[in-house]
Structure 1
């Protein structure tokens, strides 16, 4: 009988999904090659809100303690009025990772990326920067990938963890592409006001909404959501003055953050997009996971969690000794309902925030219901 165990895996993409998968596989004795198209393996500088179920995944691959030492845990989301910062509601955050983990952790994306990268290298993963896959050939009992440096790798499984604009997805013949949601998001890292002790969001203002989270003892991550602007704004630019102008009308702590920004502060602006592959995520011995298969708007702060969960669950299922041909459909069947629920609710929330007069619109309820549902096992 052919040995069904997976002993060698090629992971394409060194973001959260690919890094967590590489760690989870390496901890199970799998030989992992990780290719990352960037020559410098760093994360962009703005903040990230990490829910408890993501923390659970990070704990399972051994990076939680270092991440907790860098970030700031909190357990509350406050909803405020835009003009003066007056309180509308306080929403305790469900412990989606279990009662022994914080409900939420605010952190710098660059800190998370650095922690994961160091852990991957320490685990003995064969990391090749400035490299990606150019061709995939399924051989039945193996898959051979041609890399951009001209070499080839023959492995038991190829995993595309290369993000919302996944090239692996296209190479597998999956035609799903990202769709603009109709919202753009400004993000900036700024000094943390002394009064900030949890995440807060501001409604009833001139834009869709504004908000912030603490991400360290001294820093916070602030954002503003509005309609899609011209694509020339997309990326990181010294647009502090632009953000200050566009966020006029927001008071409270948000106004304090805005007024403290330098005119040339580096600000990131992106269109918010989503994608959901509803056909099989796999072809033969190749599969896409994470944002390559399902990317949701960041309105419920579950993007990183869904990616990290994918990675941990796939590694766990591959370690069961079952043939790859049965693991991949079983993996998708296990993950699809959960990620679709998050994506559908995130899109519903986006619609309500763009059109707040929609009958039945209740952003707080949909956020709370989604997070409570995620307490169930991934």
Structure 2
């Protein structure tokens, strides 16, 4: 019998919901508290690498993901005018029977995971979060934002890069800006977009796009980080439109969509790496709450999903919950995650510094080889 009978997961992102599915289907009572009121409508587009697909298959949702997403096995490199410079076969890091990459609408992935978590028996509770935690030797007492309270064997902070759970347990790590900002739009997919294509050059560090379904895609432009708190939607659309004028090809079809979409998103690239252990007592951090990286390697969601898989394995196999369990969890994950975070940040730094002789292909091969191994 598992050493845990009830678990609270704070945050209904990919890592939190994955953990909920794995624990609930093994008979553990799981509550998932999500501060937003619509837990299955978070975000726009997401790029899911093969090692993440491997975890999604373990969760039993691969067929749904494959049906709604857009799979591809190569990466295109283009000149600013849109002409193709190279087509690079992508590594199938999840194994030969899974595609290298799937682009997907993030709300559709969230809906799949929420539905699967509930079907497994987990309670997903939108509009609820944790106000305070009181730890005991054998669990944690939780006071919720609605005034209710409950006691859990383990509490999992899966509440993102600005995790309130992380602060509550006294972990003082904070995200660090990398110096880049990304403009994103989710829009219709032109017929010629069948994989991720990237442009290095022109007015931005990166101009790229990724198909997310039969009719949809997301496109993005990466430049130096700028203050953006006071930008209106019109300002964001105007700036992204102006940046896009440096690119041809598919960008000529994307450009008219930017002004009318009403949903141009701008965020900074940030990184975070919590030194071990990732727990304090019976409260443990996973996903972006423990580690986060700029999307230069598209490994953020994958690493969070791997956290969920490893933590579930350890919790369900344990006879007792003690520090050795959490130490084993951190030991299984830390070096792999550190390599991904540091490599992602290094790729961004090379671009910011204009390094022309950087071994980008070599770094990408090393990371692909690492994440191809089981976590």
SS of the residue 1:208 aligns to: strand
CA contact 1:11–1:160 (8 Å) conserved in 2: yes
CA contact 2:273–2:290 (8 Å) conserved in 1: yes
In structure 2, the residue matched to 1:243 is 240
What is the Cα deviation at residue 264 of structure 1?
5.0
Q: Spell out the pairing of 1:130-141 with structure 2 (5 A cutoff).
A: 130-141=127-138
SS of the residue 1:324 aligns to: coil
CA contact 1:239–1:264 (8 Å) conserved in 2: no
In structure 1, the residue matched to 2:331 is 333
Q: Is 263-272 or 157-166 further displaced after alignment?
A: 263-272
The answer to whether residue 104 in structure 2 is matched with residue 107 in structure 1 is yes
In structure 1, the residue matched to 2:152 is 155
The answer to whether residue 158 in structure 2 is matched with residue 191 in structure 1 is no
* Alignment CA distance shift 1:251-1:17 (3 Å): same
SS of the residue 1:224 aligns to: strand
The answer to whether residue 338 in structure 2 is matched with residue 375 in structure 1 is no
What is the Cα deviation at residue 237 of structure 1?
6.7
The answer to whether residue 304 in structure 2 is matched with residue 296 in structure 1 is no
Q: Is 329-338 or 228-237 further displaced after alignment?
A: 228-237
* Alignment CA distance shift 1:46-1:237 (3 Å): farther
Q: Spell out the pairing of 1:188-337 with structure 2 (5 A cutoff).
A: 188-232=185-229, 239-263=236-260, 265-325=262-322, 326-337=324-335
Q: Is 264-273 or 101-110 further displaced after alignment?
A: 264-273
Q: Spell out the pairing of 1:47-62 with structure 2 (5 A cutoff).
A: 47-62=45-60
What is the Cα deviation at residue 44 of structure 1?
3.6
* Alignment CA distance shift 1:330-1:45 (3 Å): closer
Q: What is the rounded CA distance, in whole Å, between the counterparts of 1:377 and 1:58 in structure 2? A: 13
CA contact 1:234–1:268 (8 Å) conserved in 2: no
Q: For structure 1, which runs of at least 5 residues remain unmatched after alignment? A: none
Q: Which TM-score applies when normalising by structure 1?
A: 0.94
What is the Cα deviation at residue 79 of structure 1?
1.3
- List 4+ stretches of structure 1 deviating above 4 A: 233-238
* Cα deviation code 1:247-291 (max 9, x no counterpart): 221112233322444445421111111110013210111111100
* Cα deviation code 1:220-253 (max 9, x no counterpart): 1111001112122679778433311122211122
CA contact 2:185–2:258 (8 Å) conserved in 1: no
CA contact 1:234–1:271 (8 Å) conserved in 2: no
Q: CA RMSD in A?
A: 1.8
Q: What is the rounded CA distance, in whole Å, between the counterparts of 1:365 and 1:233 in structure 2? A: 40
Q: What is the rounded CA distance, in whole Å, between the counterparts of 1:130 and 1:237 in structure 2? A: 30
In structure 1, the residue matched to 2:62 is 64
* Cα deviation code 1:21-45 (max 9, x no counterpart): 1001011111101111112223344
Q: What is the rounded CA distance, in whole Å, between the counterparts of 1:261 and 1:131 in structure 2? A: 34
The answer to whether residue 30 in structure 2 is matched with residue 12 in structure 1 is no
* Cα deviation code 1:129-166 (max 9, x no counterpart): 21111221221122211111222221111100000000
What is the Cα deviation at residue 359 of structure 1?
5.5
In structure 2, the residue matched to 1:353 is 351
In structure 1, the residue matched to 2:20 is 22
Q: What is the rounded CA distance, in whole Å, between the counterparts of 2:309 and 2:190 in structure 1? A: 36
What is the Cα deviation at residue 178 of structure 1?
0.8
CA contact 2:208–2:220 (8 Å) conserved in 1: yes
* Alignment CA distance shift 1:212-1:365 (3 Å): farther
* Alignment CA distance shift 1:100-1:237 (3 Å): farther
Q: What is the rounded CA distance, in whole Å, between the counterparts of 1:91 and 1:46 in structure 2? A: 26
Q: What is the rounded CA distance, in whole Å, between the counterparts of 2:128 and 2:192 in structure 1? A: 45
* Alignment CA distance shift 1:264-1:253 (3 Å): closer
The answer to whether residue 170 in structure 2 is matched with residue 173 in structure 1 is yes
CA contact 2:276–2:334 (8 Å) conserved in 1: no
